Each structure stands twice: as C-alpha cells, then as structure tokens.
C-alpha cells in the first residue's frame, strides 16, 4: 500500500499513443521528495491511446486512470483528472511533452518554501518531432524571484513573458478558488492563468527549471484552433469573463472587434494598448472580487456598455435568465451588435419559454426580426402564449375534494410518525456520523431501475467535496441493477465512484422529521430522496441527477417531439395515468406541425436514447427513468404524473429544480 500522495501529476490524453510513453516515463525522473501519484485521463481517443494507458498503469499502485466515453475537450479532461487526484499539490503534464530530470522536485520544494499558490517553469524548450536535441526555440519566462503580477497576462512586445500561460504547479486550494479550467472554449490553459491571477493568487517562477514542449509532430491544440478560425472567439471568451477589470474604452473595443477577421488577433491588439484596466482594478484582484464588483454594479443606475454586457453574461451563467434577457435586449436596442449578445438573448429566451410568464412575448417580437426568422420563432411565440394561458387556468384543474381527503389522512400519519420514529432516527444519525468519520460511504440500493438509481448520482461528488468521503456500492447492488447500462450511466463513468465493497452498505430511510413543518402539516412541496439525504448528511447544496456522458446533437431530432410512454414501472406500483389527457397533449403538439416519434427505451441503445432526448424539440414522458434522464440533461420536457398519487407530495418522485413541466 503506498503512502498518501502529496503531489499529483495529471496527464490529459487524446490520440497520443506515439508520445505518451515518453511523457509518462519522464515523471519517474523528477526527484520528488514526497510520495506522489500519476493520473492519466483519456478523452475518448480514437487511436490506441487507451490500450497504452492500461499497459503503462499495470502493476503501478501510484497510477490512476480514467476514460471519457465521449470527447469533452482539454478543459474537461484536466478537471476530471484533478477531481480524481488525491493530493494537495497538482502539476499538469501534456501527453506530448517531456519533463527534464529533477524539474518537479525543484518546483515542489519552492511551492512549500514560499507557501505560495503556484510555481511556474523558467524555460520552455520547443523541440521538433522526437528529437529533444533538435531545438527550434526557447521561451524564457520572467518574474524569477518575484510574485507574478496580474498585468503580466497582457504580454508586451519585448517584455517579460508570463510563465502561467505554460503549465505550472499549483495547490488544490488554488484550483478550487479558480473553479477549475473552463470547458466552453478551446483556450482552457490561457483562461486558467487569468482565473488564477484574477483571484489574487500568488505564484513565482522557479529558477533553473525546464519543460520540453514538442512541436512539428502533430498540430498543437492552439494551431488547430487557429486554423479553424476560433482563435479570436477563444480570446474573447477569456476576456468576457474579466470584463469588469477593463476600462470603458477597452471594453468597447473588445465588443466591436471583428472576431471573424483572420488578419487580426484580439490578444495582439491588447498588447499594443496602454492603460487598458480600470484605475481601481487592483482592488478587485482577490477571491470574490468579481462578486464584489457585481454588487457595486447593481447599485449603479447608469453603467457603461461593457459592464452591462459583463453583468448580463454573469446573470446567464448564474441561470438568472430573465435578468440576462433584459440586459441583452437593452444592449441590442442601444445599437451594440456583438454576436454573443444575440446568442445570450436567444438562449435565455429558449430557456424561459418553458417557464410561463417570465418573458413578455411582445418584447420578444420587437427584439427578433420575425420576417427573417421564419416559422420556428412564430411557433416559439405561440408556445409562450399557450403556456401563459395554461398558467392562468391551472387552478381550475385542482381536484379539491380528493386533495382535502388526502390532506387529513396525511397530517394524521405524518404527526404520528414524527413522534414514533425518534429512537430509530437517532441510530440512523449515528450511522451517518460513522460514515463521515471513516471517510467511506458504502451504499445499498433497494431499487435498480434507471430512474431509481439516478437520484443517488450526485452523492459521490458532493460527499467527496463536502466531507472527503469516498463513495462505494455494496456488492449486493450488482444483483439489483435491472440492466447493466444503468450501472454504466450512473456510476461507471462517474470519476467519484470508487468501486464495490463486499460489506453491507448504508440504506436510505425516509423520516417525517426530515420534512419541513409546512410540508409535514399540509403535505405540499415534498422532497425527493436526494434532498432528504442531503438534509440527513448536513449538505445544503441543491442537486439534480448527474451523469458524465455528454450527449450528441442529432440533427434529425431537432424538430421532433419524442414520446416515451413507459407505463411498466408505474403499473407495478399501482399508478393510474390519465391516458386521454396524455393523448390530447400529444395531439395538440402534432397540430403545431411537430413530427411525433414514439420510442421504447428497452429497444434502444441507452446512449442513443440519451442523444435522442437531448436533441428533441420536446420530450414527453411519464414518471420513469426517461424523466430522470431529462432532469440530468437539463432538458425541456413534459412529464405526466399518475392521477392517484397523493396531493402535492408527488414531488417526492420528481425534481423541482430541473425545469421540467409536470402535469398531474
């Protein structure tokens, strides 16, 4: 058994079967003075990379591996690797690069000696092909012996180079503060350097350290992005996140820059400018600086265009889509014509259309040019109007007498249970405390359907982040899963899942005392299993089912309403569905000229089934695994509930925060 590692070398891999072994072997020449580990994560390579990873890891206790089932990109691969890492210090080695002997030993000693957040490389040696002696050029980075300043990110011609644009060693605490590598664009390493320094984290350049960077072998990720025309868009996405630090003039120039002009590079433009930051920007270079600036903006009546754009993007990323929509709309009306403003406006509208009354359709009609958008947008407006009408009339559909009957019976049962379960609840809490103390959670599943299992999927991540508890399943669970794909989707792809244990596991129990007073007495706004578990474990975070499969967009389904009427599970539990209401709803959709396709999940490849749900214009189903999958995909869906479930506690079987529209 190896000692607990104090340093993790992460190696993100993609189609690197010709170079990975050199990179991997160089890790063992680093003279690292503490126990260390290596984490290799393959991003769904199409060559023999996976086989090589498995071969290199065989028999080595300090080597971990993980394999994405779909290609997610560099940022996501690095983030996965850090999640798997066990240590408090991280270093990223690209799979086509090489570490000279002793480099990481020097860097580790410096990060501990300085007590800093990060340490950069002194020299990056670019070598050609497989010959490390065939050196093309050398980048020597500045700031040796001094803290690397934030403005080093705007590298001036002839000035010192910022070492954080290359790879660097950092603490896990620093990584957590940055929220990791971005996954929404191609310049994840450059953007990570901005996140690091913008949060006021301190790093130094480690003298006499080198990094061998391979060129002229396969095209680098940077070159692929450049040749695809994405380079300016990638730089824009970096600057967009830190707009609050730029002065008004620089914000305007970035917003008006032609990102599709291949003859101009946005980052080069900024290096030629002087005084591009706000006069007081250093006051916001700290953890929480962006939050602080946001609070100051909210109080500002007449904010500049750039700050308004930044606030709109920030609202969008916080899922405050109504506020984001309003800001983007006002910017467009004021004459700002950046393509990303239109993108955020349209995406906000698309999301809001499923929540009735949140977007004024008159406003949308003024914002979009319907003569150019065609039937799709007109259909969109009709849907918004229809949803609004349904909202006004929803009280008419409440079965008052039935609900009153269930309410009286429910109050009696809930109050009785509250007092009778006290001793059992105390023992249950003692069991939870033991789990926290021994840092190990072994779960026993009672039900093995896809929908049943998906509710537990946020637990591995949350328990690790909250209590550093490792998540396992008991061997008994193998007999419970109704289908092997259920395990694959819910746990096998989850980087926080540690495997199976032979010992009996923890069984979730429902207690009345976990419910709020209002819920206990009136039996409304009930909670699902995961919400109850969170309360029992002292976790405040909200969560939906989590899957680590990134669905593919299937163009043939973008105008299709997908219908999954899987009654099997419900009928076994005595649920009664109003089939007439369901059929009428589907008929109304077909009248809107949508193509209707019925699907039977058991006859589908499960991954294609997820792709179909994700790609469809709308997904209609009943309470089932498909409904839980839609929640995990954050997919707009209509889910029909059994008529004979008790009152509003129907939410015990659904996910209130998923955005799904539930119909009783």
Q: Which of 613, 607, 615 is nearest to 626 (CA)?
A: 613
How does pLDDT run across 567-592, given as a tens digit for each residue? Answer: 555 555 556 677 778 888 887 877 76
List CB contacts of 507: < 8 A, sequence separation 6 or more: 444, 446
607 is in which domain, residue-wise? 555-663
Q: Please return the burial class of 396, using the count of CB atoms within 10 Å of its CB with bins 0-12, 13-18 and 19+.
A: exposed
| Contact between 176 and 117 (Cβ < 8 Å) | no
Q: Which of 167, 12, 27 is nearest to 95 (CA)?
A: 12
Per-residue model confidence (pLDDT) at position 578: 74
83 lies in the same domain as 133: yes
Q: Which of 164, 194, 226 is the last residue of a domain?
A: 226
Q: Which contiguous run of DSSP H or E holds residue 473?
A: strand 470-474
Q: Which of 519, 469, 523, 477 is nearest to 496 (CA)?
A: 469
89 strand-pairing partners: 171
Complete edge-to-edge strand list for the sheet that includes strand 210-215: 135-140, 123-128, 210-215
| Calpha distance 663→578 (Å, rounded) | 10
Per-residue model confidence (pLDDT) at position 334: 85
Q: Which of 83, 242, 35 is nearest to 154 (CA)?
A: 242
3-class secondary-structure state, position 574: coil
301 lies in the same domain as 258: yes
499 lies in the same domain as 575: no
- Higher per-residue pLDDT: 472 or 336: 472
| Calpha distance 173→192 (Å, rounded) | 14
| Residue 22 burial (CB count, 10 A) | 18
Judged against a pLDDT cut of 90, whether residue 628 lies above it is answered with: no
Instruction: Classify residue 396: in a domain, yes or no.
Output: no
How does pLDDT run across 468-520, given as a tens digit for each residue? Answer: 999 999 998 888 887 778 888 899 888 899 999 998 899 888 787 776 665 65
- Strands 89-92, 7-13: parallel, antiparallel or unpaired by DSSP? parallel
- HSE-CB of 135 using CA atoms within 13 angstroms: 9
Q: Which range is least confidently modeled, 295-304, 367-376, 565-574?
A: 367-376
Sign of the alpha-carbon torsion through 606, 612, 614, 620: negative
Judged against a pLDDT cut of 60, whether residue 522 lies above it is answered with: no
Q: Residue 450 is encoded by which pair of tokens?
A: 């896809």
How does pLDDT run across 112-141, given as a tens digit for each residue? Answer: 999 999 999 999 999 988 888 888 889 999
Instruction: Classify residue 171: in a domain, yes or no.
Output: yes
| Contact between 561 and 620 (Cβ < 8 Å) | yes
DSSP 64-99: EEEEESS---HHHHHHHHHHH--SSEEEE--TT-BP
| Contact between 266 and 235 (Cβ < 8 Å) | yes
Complete edge-to-edge strand list for the sheet that includes strand 36-43: 63-68, 36-43, 7-13, 89-92, 168-171, 118-120, 203-205
600 lies in the same domain as 617: yes
How does pLDDT run across 407-416, given as a tens digit for each residue? Answer: 566 666 666 6
Mean pLDDT of 326-331: 88
Total length of the chain: 664
Judged against a pLDDT cut of 50, whether residue 358 lies above it is answered with: no
3-class secondary-structure state, position 246: strand
pLDDT band at residue 169 using 50, 70 and 90 as cut-offs: very high
Q: Which of 226, 247, 263 is the last residue of a domain?
A: 226
216 lies in the same domain as 269: no
Instruction: Classify residue 466: in a domain, yes or no.
Output: yes
185 lies in the same domain as 247: no
| Calpha distance 175→181 (Å, rounded) | 9
Mean pLDDT of the chain: 82
Instruction: Classify residue 368: in a domain, yes or no.
Output: no
Percent of the chain topping pLDDT 90:
38
Task: Give the CA angle between residues 53, 55, 60 to the nearest 5°.
Answer: 95
Q: Which of 313, 357, 351 is nearest to 331 (CA)?
A: 313
Instruction: Classify residue 375: in a domain, yes or no.
Output: no
Q: Residue 239 is encoded by which pair of tokens?
A: 């600057």
Alpha carbon of residue 98 to chain centroid: 30
Instruction: Classify residue 381: in a domain, yes or no.
Output: no
| Contact between 441 and 459 (Cβ < 8 Å) | yes
Complete edge-to-edge strand list for the sheet that includes strand 440-443: 440-443, 470-474, 497-501
Instruction: Classify residue 196: in a domain, yes or no.
Output: yes
What is the total count of domains within the chain?
4
Mean pLDDT of 318-326: 86
N-term to C-term CA, the chain: 55
Q: Which of 166, 196, 226 is the last residue of a domain?
A: 226
Question: Which CATH number belongs to the domain containing residue 77 in this structure?
Answer: 3.90.550.10
Q: Which of 224, 213, 229 is nearest to 136 (CA)?
A: 213
Judged against a pLDDT cut of 80, whether residue 204 lies above it is answered with: yes
Largest CA distance in the chain: 85
Judged against a pLDDT cut of 50, whether residue 99 lies above it is answered with: yes
335 lies in the same domain as 417: no
28 lies in the same domain as 177: yes
Percent of the chain topping pLDDT 70:
81
Task: Give the CA angle between residues 375, 376, 378 to the nearest 5°.
Answer: 60
Instruction: Classify residue 235: in a domain, yes or no.
Output: yes
448 DSSP 8-state letter: -
Q: Please return the burial class of 318, using the count of CB atoms within 10 Å of its CB with bins 0-12, 13-18 and 19+.
A: exposed
Question: Which CATH number belongs to the domain containing residue 624 in this structure?
Answer: 3.40.50
268-284 as b/e, with b when 16 or more CB fall inside 10 Å? Answer: ebbeeeeebbbeebeeb
3-class secondary-structure state, position 529: helix
pLDDT band at residue 1 using 50, 70 and 90 as cut-offs: very low
197 lies in the same domain as 246: no
How does pLDDT run across 260-283, given as a tens digit for each residue? Answer: 877 788 888 888 888 899 999 999
418 lies in the same domain as 495: yes
439 lies in the same domain as 295: no
| Contact between 6 and 112 (Cβ < 8 Å) | no
| Calpha distance 366→373 (Å, rounded) | 13
| Contact between 213 and 125 (Cβ < 8 Å) | yes
Per-residue model confidence (pLDDT) at position 104: 97
Tokens 């958008």 correspond to what residue? 373
pLDDT band at residue 37 using 50, 70 and 90 as cut-offs: very high
- Strands 63-68, 123-128: parallel, antiparallel or unpaired by DSSP? unpaired
166 lies in the same domain as 111: yes
507 DSSP 8-state letter: -
């Amino acid at each position: 058994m190896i000692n607990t590692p104090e340093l993790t070398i992460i190696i993100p891999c993609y189609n690197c079967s010709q170079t990975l072994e050199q990179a991997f072997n160089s890790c063992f020449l680093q003279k690292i003075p503490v126990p260390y580990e290596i984490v290799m994560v393959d991003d769904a390579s199409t060559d023999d990379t996976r086989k090589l990873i498995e071969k290199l890891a065989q028999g080595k206790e300090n080597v971990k591996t993980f394999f994405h089932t779909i290609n997610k990109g560099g940022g996501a691969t690095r983030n996965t690797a850090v999640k798997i890492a066990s240590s408090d210090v991280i270093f990223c080695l690209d799979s086509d690069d090489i570490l000279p002997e002793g480099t990481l030993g020097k860097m580790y000693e410096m990060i501990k000696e300085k007590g800093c957040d990060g340490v950069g490389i002194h020299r990056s040696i670019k070598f050609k092909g497989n010959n490390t002696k065939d050196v093309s050029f050398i980048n020597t980075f500045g700031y040796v012996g001094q803290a690397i300043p934030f403005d080093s990110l705007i590298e001036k011609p002839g000035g010192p180079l910022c070492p954080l644009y290359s790879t660097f060693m950092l603490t896990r605490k620093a990584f957590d503060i940055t929220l990791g590598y971005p996954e929404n664009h191609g310049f994840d390493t450059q953007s990570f350097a901005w996140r690091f320094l913008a949060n006021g984290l301190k790093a130094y350049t480690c003298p006499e350290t080198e990094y061998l960077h391979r060129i002229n072998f396969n095209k680098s990720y940077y070159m692929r992005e450049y040749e695809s025309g994405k380079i300016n868009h990638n730089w824009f996405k970096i600057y967009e996140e830190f707009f609050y630090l730029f002065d008004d003039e620089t914000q305007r120039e970035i917003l008006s820059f032609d990102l599709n002009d291949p003859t101009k590079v946005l980052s080069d433009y900024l290096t030629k400018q002087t005084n591009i930051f706000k006069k007081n920007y250093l006051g916001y270079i700290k953890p929480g600086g962006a939050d602080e600036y946001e609070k100051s903006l909210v109080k500002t009546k007449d904010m500049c265009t750039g700050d308004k754009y930044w606030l709109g993007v920030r609202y969008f990323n916080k899922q405050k889509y109504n506020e984001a929509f309003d800001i983007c709309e006002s910017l467009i009306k004021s004459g700002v014509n950046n393509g990303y403003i239109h993108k955020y406006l349209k995406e906000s509208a698309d999301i809001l259309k499923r929540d009735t009354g949140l977007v004024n359709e008159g406003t949308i009609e003024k914002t979009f040019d319907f003569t150019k958008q065609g039937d799709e947008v007109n259909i969109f407006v009709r849907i918004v109007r229809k949803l609004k009408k349904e909202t006004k009339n929803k009280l008419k559909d409440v079965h008052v007498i039935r609900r009153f009957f269930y309410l009286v019976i429910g109050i009696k049962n809930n109050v009785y249970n509250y007092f009778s379960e006290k001793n059992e609840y105390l023992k249950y809490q003692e069991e939870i405390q033991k789990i926290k103390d021994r840092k190990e959670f072994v779960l026993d599943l009672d039900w093995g359907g896809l929908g049943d299992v998906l509710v537990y999927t946020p637990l591995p991540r949350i328990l690790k982040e909250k209590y550093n508890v490792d998540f396992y399943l008991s061997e008994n669970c193998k007999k419970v899963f109704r289908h092997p794909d259920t395990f694959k989707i819910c746990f096998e792809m989850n980087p926080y899942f540690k495997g199976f244990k032979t010992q009996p596991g923890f069984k979730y129990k429902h207690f009345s005392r976990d419910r709020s007073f209002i819920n206990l007495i009136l039996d409304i706004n009930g909670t699902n299993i995961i919400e109850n578990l969170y309360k029992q474990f002292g976790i405040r975070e909200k969560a939906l089912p989590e899957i680590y499969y990134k669905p593919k967009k299937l163009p043939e389904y973008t105008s299709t309403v997908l219908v999954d009427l899987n009654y099997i599970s419900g009928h076994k539990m005595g649920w009664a569905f109003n089939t007439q209401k369901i059929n009428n709803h589907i008929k109304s959709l077909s009248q809107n000229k949508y193509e209707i396709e019925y699907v039977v999940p058991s006859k589908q490849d499960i991954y294609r089934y997820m792709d179909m749900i994700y790609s469809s214009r709308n997904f209609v189903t009943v309470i089932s695994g498909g409904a839980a999958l839609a929640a995990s995909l954050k997919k707009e869906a209509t889910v029909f509930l059994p008529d004979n479930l008790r009152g509003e506690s129907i939410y015990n079987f659904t996910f209130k925060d998923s955005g799904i529209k539930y119909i009783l």
